[in-house]
Amino acid sequence: MFKPIRLITKVPNLDYFRFHKLCFALSIVLSVISVVSLATRGLNYGVDFAGGILVEVRLPTKPDLARMRADIGALNLGDVALQDFGASNDVLIRIERQTGGEDAEMVAVQKVREAVGRMFGSNVEYRRVEVVGPKVGAELVLGGILAVTLSMAGIMAYMAFRFGWRAGAAGVIAIFHDCLTTLGLFSVTGLQFDLNVLAAIVTIAGFSINDTVVIDDRIRENSRKYKRMDFRELINLSVNQTMARTVVTNGLVFLATFALVTFGGPVLFGFSFAMLWGVIVGTYSTIYVAAPLEWYLSNRGKTHAKERAEASAG
């Protein structure tokens, strides 16, 4: 029979609480930066949310973006944004919503195609043309907010039912921290926020709570086994006991998402970049945010010790 490969053969004995105040401060700083950036800069919404026209073209040669911007801007179609997208000869053209409905949008698309054709001839590949109206964009924004809110509410209810309200509250705070800092990262960097990134945020919430459930399950098991152990030491023990699983599982997810960021191409970049950040911050928040918060919510272990004593007496 084959023996399982273990990267960590012995249970480590690390004091994760040693740096929890520093980590709390770091999380607060990241959260404040995210909130300020979201309030002042906002998100660079993709056409999925903001509405408008998006045209992705592959040109025969590397373009002069400044000249292209000037020529397309001369069409008087409103704000025009051009950016490199993938290869050096791939360009993403974004134009603001047009007044006049669908007919005006189609006319704008035709004008852009004619302008690009005049600059680069007929050997132009139109890889994507999307038109999204403002009503659809607004509905998608509301739907995205509702999806994240409902997922957090469901997670908190599950955690509270299985492990108690303290574990549920700590888990949801950690998830909120992960989702907020992911939004802040996209706001600060100006990367495009679209439906793929929204899907990544919901995935991050599930990924983060998965680690939290594993640790809380071990805490519950150890609470029955070590009835006289200090709650802080019990949490440290539980985190150490699950560290081998955390390293293997999260390490493999990190390698997969890193490969997607590096080789996945521009279409998947937003999703994979958000997931890469989510793996890092989700692992960090599970150990250094959720676990210490549960200790604080139990009045530094006093409430938990009382509950265990009552359970033993009963």
User: pLDDT tens digits for 39-89?
Assistant: 998 888 877 677 778 888 888 888 888 888 888 888 888 777 787 777 778
On whether residue 40 sits in a domain, the answer given is: yes
User: What pLDDT, on a 0 to 100 scale, did the predictor assign at position 278?
Assistant: 92
Q: Which of 93, 113, 132 is the last residue of a domain?
A: 132
Q: 94 pairs with which residues across the strands?
A: 54, 81
H-assigned helices in 47-121: 47-50, 65-73, 101-120
- pTM of the predicted protein model: 0.75
Q: Per mean pLDDT, which range of 57-66, 145-154, 293-302 is the poorest? A: 293-302
On whether residue 11 sits in a domain, the answer given is: no
Does 113 or 137 have the greater pLDDT score? 113
Alpha carbon distance 258, 250 (integer Å): 12
- Please say if the pLDDT value at position 177 is more than 80: yes
Check if the beta carbon of residue 178 is closer than 8 Å to that of residue 285: yes
DSSP-assigned letters across all residues of 31-45: HHHHHHHHHHT--EE
- Please say if the pLDDT value at position 253 is more than 70: yes
Band of pLDDT at residue 300, cut at 50, 70 and 90: low
What mean pLDDT comes out for the span 130-150?
74
Q: And the tokens for 172? A: 């949801």
User: What pLDDT, on a 0 to 100 scale, did the predictor assign at position 62?
Assistant: 86
Are 109 and 208 found together in one domain? no
Q: How far is CA 170 from the centre of its chain?
A: 19
Q: Which of 132, 164, 192 is the last residue of a domain?
A: 132
Across 95-104, 274-283, 302-311, the highest mean pLDDT is recorded for 274-283
Range of the domain at 297: 16-45+136-313
Are 31 and 157 found together in one domain? yes
For 14-41, write each residue's pLDDT tens digit.
788 888 889 999 999 999 999 999 999 8
Are 205 and 305 found together in one domain? yes
Q: Which helix (H) or strand (E) holds 92?
A: strand 87-95
